[in-house]
Structure 1
Amino acid sequence: MEEGFPLLIVEDSPTQALRLQTVLESLGYQVAVADNGRAALEEVLREFRPLVITDWVMPEMDGLDFCQAIRKLDLPGYVYVILLTARDALDDVVAGLEAGADDYLTKPVHPAELAARLKTARRILNLEAALRKRNEEIQKLSITDPLTTLFNRRYFNEELPKALSASARTGRPLAVLMADIDHFKKVNDTHGHQVGDQTLRAFGRLLKEGLRKGVDWAARYGGEEFAVVLGETDLDGAVSAAERLRLLTSGLTLEAPTGPFRVTASFGVACADPRRGDVPSMEKLVAAADRALYTAKETGRNRVEAAHDSP
């Protein structure tokens, strides 16, 4: 058994709590004690404990109310609750399980039986954690571009409207950059698709590393086109950010079987600024950035152009 697995005892009797704590610590558990359900909820919120053994009859909040309350909390994992009580009638067992308990033990409990029940609880908790981790991995894959590891078009389409709503609510500007690797078809035709993929990965990495963590984010929009969302950034700030990314791109050296080569990128910038009027829809904002990108490419590439007209 893993040493120090966190466990919470909820028991209003100091004598019963100490007896149970002694047994559990001898089994290797890291034990905390609360003397009623309300204190137990505070303890779980303060330090998450996935395994709880609770008495039924307690002051302030009893075991049934505690079970019901803990099922309503948004916690980082599942909490397995064992209800420990002298009540052993079938109706009591059913009431405890329906309140949210996972298992039920009657007093006095034998240490060997307790250890066996806890082993089962640990097995279920491990399965739940593995399932949760797998679901998180699946969720991450569903919003990630597999080649560049940036967010994908789906994430962009789902999250940009939320960001625009937040911008309207807070009154803070938000900018979108549309970026396109110049002459990317020539890279594929000259060096092959593997080098083309390496180029896309390198550009994606440059975008990710060049943005503010937790504020800005980038997505692969399609092919060699990328989108960047800059939080709390007005048009001038977005143009400066795009220019910095453009310079970083032009200084990037890439490798091919025929030797090193360089690429450039063009950027189109548009801004939603609640201080200057209504926040546009995602479609209008992206269209404005796209028009600016088209202008950048039509006027020589390796440029930054801004949409100064309202999206």
Structure 2
Amino acid sequence: MKILIAEDDKTSRIMLESVLKKWGFTLVLACNGKEAWDIMQSKDAPKLAILDWQMPEMNGIEVCQRIREIGTSNPPYLIVLTSKDEKKDIVKALEAGANDFISKPYDAQELRARINVGKRMVKLQFNLSDAYKKLKYEAMHDLLTNIYNRRAIMELLEKEIARGKREKTGLCVGLCDLDHFKKVNDTYGHQIGDEVLIAFTRLVTDKLRLNDHVGRIGGEEFLIVASGSKGLKQDVMFERICEYVRSSEISTEKGSVPITVSIGVARYTGVENSDVLLATADTALYHAKKTGRDSVVYADNI
């Protein structure tokens, strides 16, 4: 584990460095509060820091306060080391954001015990943060295809509508439906059907641009949110997706499965909400299905 030692007194710093190295820690050293603050802002900053209270340029209490102002789900564990030992000093350090307080001269075994407490807390915090990230990811992604789920893609659409209204940027939505997908399930089984859905999302993702997103909104239906699209007729991305899917047979355990997709596209004009956009795209998708499938229909052309 990497630990920051911020101590302006050279003798004290060397003693701490010697003891902590003996205990197997990797150390980062700072001679004043400004150096400590710069180190704790770095991308790979130590997750445990021992900060002397009295340091030039910035004292340990100020460093604690600044670190606690950084918004993070995985904050470092901070130990303030000082010759101050009155109750008001302890309270001041803890209120500044310190996790622990050790008075000089310190007992080596007590220091080790307190550092070990910090190690456990850092590990616990990391595990909690990691679990939160995983839960957040799972809440936003479809478990089968690993793309956005309905809730996430709709939230993204709402944000893009707000951005389009604010910045006057273009926005298209494409409602995609795999043609005759029930036949795929009936012929090959649902496991192969799942493989087809996964492969389809990969094909679509290959053709998306940097600011485009796709989500599964149910069954074999997918929604593409294409930001920055100025005009439907000039935007050939949806035709490319349709053609790419048509020319790409899906390899499965039961052989190659040919698929096609129908897409209904609606353009945001500055007044529609998400429900209206989806309804408009759905109407265009219905026309694509009705006129033979395996095609793109733009709502403006109906």
TM-score (norm 1): 0.87
Matched, 1:262 2:254: no
Q: 1:207 to 1:13 in 2, by over 3 A?
A: same
Q: 1:117 to 1:281 in 2, by over 3 A?
A: same
Superposed CA RMSD: 2.4
Deviations 1:31-85 (A, max 9, x none): 2233443442222112422111111123443222322221110246221000101
For residues 29 and 252 of structure 2, what CA distance do their matches in structure 1 show? Answer: 63
For residues 96 and 133 of structure 1, what CA distance do their matches in structure 2 show? Answer: 29
Do the aligned partners of 1:12 and 1:35 also contact (CA within 8 Å) in 2? Answer: yes
Match of 2:292 among 300, 304, 308: 300
Match in the other structure for 1:171: 168
Match in the other structure for 2:280: 288
Q: CA deviation at 1:258?
A: 6.6
Q: Figure out how many residues of one structure are paired with residues of the other and give that number.
A: 301
Secondary structure of 2:236's partner? helix
Match in the other structure for 1:162: 159
Match of 1:104 among 94, 101, 104: 101
Match of 2:245 among 249, 262, 267: 249
Q: Which amino acid aligns with 2:245?
A: T
Match of 1:64 among 61, 65, 86: 61
Q: Which amino acid aligns with 2:109?
A: A
Match in the other structure for 1:145: 142
For residues 24 and 89 of structure 2, what CA distance do their matches in structure 1 show? Answer: 31
Secondary structure of 2:172's partner? strand
Q: Which amino acid aligns with 1:187?
A: V
Matched, 1:24 2:20: yes
Match in the other structure for 2:81: 84
Do the aligned partners of 2:172 and 2:232 also contact (CA within 8 Å) in 1? Answer: no
Matched, 1:118 2:118: no
Secondary structure of 2:2's partner? strand
Q: CA deviation at 1:266?
A: 0.6
For residues 188 and 107 of structure 1, what CA distance do their matches in structure 2 show? Answer: 72
For residues 231 and 256 of structure 1, what CA distance do their matches in structure 2 show? Answer: 33
Q: 1:256 to 1:121 in 2, by over 3 A?
A: closer
Q: Which amino acid aligns with 1:242?
A: F
Q: Which amino acid aligns with 2:96?
A: A
TM-score (norm 2): 0.89
Q: 1:167 to 1:29 in 2, by over 3 A?
A: farther
Unaligned stretches of 5+ residues in structure 1:
none
Q: CA deviation at 1:255?
A: 5.2
For residues 138 and 267 of structure 1, what CA distance do their matches in structure 2 show? Answer: 32
Do the aligned partners of 1:177 and 1:229 also contact (CA within 8 Å) in 2? Answer: yes
Do the aligned partners of 2:229 and 2:235 also contact (CA within 8 Å) in 1? Answer: no
Match in the other structure for 1:45: 41
The 10-residue stretch of structure 1 (177-186 or 159-168) with the greater mean CA deviation from structure 2: 159-168
For residues 205 and 177 of structure 2, what CA distance do their matches in structure 1 show? Answer: 15
- Percent of paired sites with the same residue: 38
Do the aligned partners of 1:150 and 1:208 also contact (CA within 8 Å) in 2? Answer: no
